[in-house]
Structure 1
């Protein structure tokens, strides 16, 4: 014999009840006891109606009519016409009794616990009767049995205590005599010794089913609900959560204690005592495996079986020097809470005995503080104990698993994972059984914490990166296209799941917490809100996604100024924007310090050489103990393109215009031609080499005339280039006369840097540099005469985007 319990969602409508009938057809046992809850939502409807009536509001009659219509509609949809009459008559008769009771509540304006139990019981009674009659009409050998005749309790209405000795006797005797294949019983309800209706409290239908299964020593207790078993995490919060196929009683209890709503531990104690298996199944997906709960879970499998949480937690801390070495403080504290009927869900105490910290439900906090302060008023007046410290709007997250105690480093992995994502831990608790590790965090961090822990312990090392992209011009657009094309490769080969959650240009910004479809981003961005850097940051804070990365493809000073805000939130920054790293040295050091403190990588490889691994190579040299003695470099792909194409047969204006149109220069080409861009690059290399250098200390031998440098817009700039063409031609002729080429060279030696045009003779490493290529010569302690050379394309949207892409991957492997 098996006992099957169907909750409210599993009997919410005629269509779902028909699914229950199909489930019974496929149950592999000769006899079943079917315990049912009230039709979905009816219990709450009854409570609301009762409350309306108690306020002597005649609207309760309308509410009652809704309850009546719901039940009659289900009967008409389930039963064939010829079978409806008797069922409808019985249902209406019961509803008439319910109406009389509610009329009484209305007239006296009061609800007693005893009356409340009686009224609420109609939900289960009507549901069980209707379902049993439907089973009969559909050909099943079924009977209805009133649970009030089997379950005996005390007279504590609302949560009655069961008399197991008498109840078990009645259950066994009934099922020994009853020969029907299917017995349908209402859950949740029982009767007291004096014959009054009682209810079994929270999880009452599960309790009914558990008592029945234990009494008859059933093969199995099945709990049918609207989810496919117990999950590795809440699937509404963690989309990658998976059902747990097999779990132990203790693991199930721990997960349920920490918020898994599928099972309410106290209600299944009778089954646990007998060691009977429990199977959790999904009424809406009967073919799903579900979760089998037994005395022991399989020895093999994961160390951590699930991650759960309890929302709405307050931390109360009792502290003071008068607690140290004084016996009985803890006893007094918990006695106070017990007397006030306040449940403690987490306890932690400092080894110094200076403080005790407890976690309780938010709604109990005010009462608890009042009672504790009252109990320790004398100690407070003496300065021995401080007033209770209250922290609210928290949640408890917990790792659960029987095998956790046999594995080292789990706590470290848990807290390291949370720390990397800026999830601050307010308190920690670990049971002596080591079956769970609990941490108290801000409620705003729950989604991020659960997802990042699930990723660490369950997702086969696939790491999710959540990007927020600023700038969708040439570089930004190319980056988004590369991310779209390489998504599958990153997941299959690098175990990285990269999503873009936010995009912004100078006009619009658009967010999608589930990930923006990258083939549609241009159209979606047009539907977004007005761009605002402040709101962009606030939205990222609100989304609070794990492994978040700001990707800055702009040249905006306002964006760069906000990097510290992002890093303080443990949001990594990947940027091709050179402004931050070439700003004041103190700001550069601050950014580096914040990245280290908050474990949020700050990567800017594309600041120098676009996609070339210049900064990364330099970092590795320094990290391995090498010392930079000199750097010679051509660092502007734009300027190299210009002087590679500029000769006596062209004009300087036309070549610069071509470079701009082909995307080799910044939108404002003066940034490149003035030398400021190269100054920033050599400054960044100097700082990465260990030198404390400011931009103002770099010598700039600019070749541009003063008039061009002072222009305010591109039109004026290009007009100035035309005007000064003879001067540019003079530069070309002077180089040609020496059989040299013009290259804009950056130099660093002995901590001093300079940039400017130089004549490069044949045979020099820079001489053959063509197009937009960059080249860097590192002279170091290890490379004193023959430098370490890095050479390649140093400008262009594609290569810059690929450099940013590489930095994103570096963050993913951090």
Structure 2
């Protein structure tokens, strides 16, 4: 008989609440024994772990006063609690909290698997990346972080399948920011024209919730670079940090030192229009080549060259025609064009390896 599976869910914002609602609709869903946000935690009582926490929404979960713990739990406390359940435990991290990500090895060593969209654990220090996967092996636990790159695109699983079956990745290129994809499609569409100032597009996107609360977190390119760092590490490049290679910021140098506070955001948005002419010059340079400008990241694996920034691309290219979505192009030694037996055999081998892993 299979061991029961228990979940600890951390983060109940937009993603977290959507996750809880989807989990609540699953038949035979795993039981939630821990639900936490930055200021409050809910714990199912031990040893029976009953009643468990309703998998619907935070508002319904907190309607059970007996489960509420008034203070936030430290990551180490959460790991100890999940490590004690009478079955297999999984941490679902819906946050962008670096401290929680840094604690992943503690969870994994205790046999608690990790499912997360938190990029920070996989793109900060290389030593943490190595510790996470070594700890998973030691604790016989799993790490799945598919959503850290490409949203729902199966980018990481595809890369791992290619590598596991003996292919050689040579180049990765793409747009890994839906926000910047949207902004540049509106700023310089592949078909038609636009005269809307860059600052107005940023302000509109922010008002519509399409940027981070502080749009500089999108415009500085570092979130994009975190994703590219993860891709580079998956293919075997030992990248120290996202700021260890060229990342072009779209924040005017004169505004880069504004504080990361509500007042600083207000100052940035009010002063950004003064620099619209610079973005217009970038647009004009691309137009003179008959191209459009887009924000792109690339990894050249043989030369270990990584860069993130503005590029001029052909108007009929897939990248030029993105409208707020993401795209990743992967070139390999095996995929030089066409299909054939070698490609089909790779798919078979990838599936075989997955079955072997689960049987093991």
Which bracket does the TM-score occupy, shorter chain normalised? Answer: 0.7 to 0.9
Give the conservation status (yes or no) of the 8 Å contact 1:474–1:663.
no
Counterpart CA distance in 1 for 2:338 and 2:85 is 49
Give the conservation status (yes or no) of the 8 Å contact 1:702–1:757.
no
Counterpart CA distance in 1 for 2:123 and 2:7 is 24
- Which residue of structure 1 aligns with residue 318 of structure 2? 765
Higher relative contact order (CA 8 A, sep 6+): 2
Counterpart CA distance in 2 for 1:610 and 1:661 is 22
Match of 2:103 among 557, 562, 582: 562
- 1:781 and 2:333 equivalent? yes
Query: Matched residue pairs, number?
Result: 322
- Which residue of structure 1 aligns with residue 197 of structure 2? 651
| 1:554–1:593 CA distance, 2 compared to 1 (3 A) | same
CA shift digits 1:757-811 (9 cap, x unpaired): 11111232312222x2111111111124689xxxxxxxxxxxxxxxxxxxxxxx9
- Which residue of structure 2 aligns with residue 609 of structure 1? 150
Residue 715 of structure 1, CA deviation: 2.2
Residue 569 of structure 1, CA deviation: 0.9
- 1:546 and 2:78 equivalent? no
Residue 502 of structure 1, CA deviation: 1.5
Match of 2:237 among 675, 691, 696: 691
Residue 650 of structure 1, CA deviation: 2.3
**SS, match of residue 743 in structure 1:** strand
- Which residue of structure 1 aligns with residue 353 of structure 2? none
- 1:721 and 2:262 equivalent? no
Counterpart CA distance in 1 for 2:19 and 2:154 is 17
CA shift digits 1:409-440 (9 cap, x unpaired): xxxxxxxxxxxxxxxxxxxxxxxxxxxxxxxx
Match of 1:741 among 282, 289, 292: 292
Q: For structure 1, which segment, 528-537 or 620-629, has the greater mean C-alpha deviation from structure 2 after superposition?
A: 528-537
Give the conservation status (yes or no) of the 8 Å contact 1:571–1:600.
yes
TM-score by length of 1: 0.37
CA shift digits 1:94-122 (9 cap, x unpaired): xxxxxxxxxxxxxxxxxxxxxxxxxxxxx
| 1:594–1:559 CA distance, 2 compared to 1 (3 A) | same
| 1:716–1:575 CA distance, 2 compared to 1 (3 A) | farther
Counterpart CA distance in 2 for 1:539 and 1:762 is 54
Matches within 5 A, 1:672-711: 672-695=218-241, 696-711=243-258
- Which residue of structure 2 aligns with residue 272 of structure 1? none
- 1:754 and 2:307 equivalent? yes
Structure 2: where are the runs of 5+ without partners?
189-193, 340-356
Residue 598 of structure 1, CA deviation: 1.1
Structure 1: where are the runs of 5+ without partners?
1-454, 457-462, 492-496, 788-810
Give the conservation status (yes or no) of the 8 Å contact 1:504–1:525.
no
- Which residue of structure 2 aligns with residue 504 of structure 1? 36
Which structure has the larger Rg?
1
**SS, match of residue 580 in structure 1:** helix
Residue 543 of structure 1, CA deviation: 4.9
Give the conservation status (yes or no) of the 8 Å contact 2:76–2:103.
no
Counterpart CA distance in 2 for 1:508 and 1:747 is 41
TM-score by length of 2: 0.81
Give the conservation status (yes or no) of the 8 Å contact 1:466–1:546.
yes
Give the conservation status (yes or no) of the 8 Å contact 2:185–2:321.
no
Counterpart CA distance in 1 for 2:231 and 2:209 is 24
Give the conservation status (yes or no) of the 8 Å contact 2:108–2:136.
yes
- Which residue of structure 1 aligns with residue 342 of structure 2? none
Counterpart CA distance in 1 for 2:152 and 2:146 is 7
| 1:507–1:596 CA distance, 2 compared to 1 (3 A) | same
**SS, match of residue 581 in structure 1:** helix
Counterpart CA distance in 1 for 2:107 and 2:17 is 23
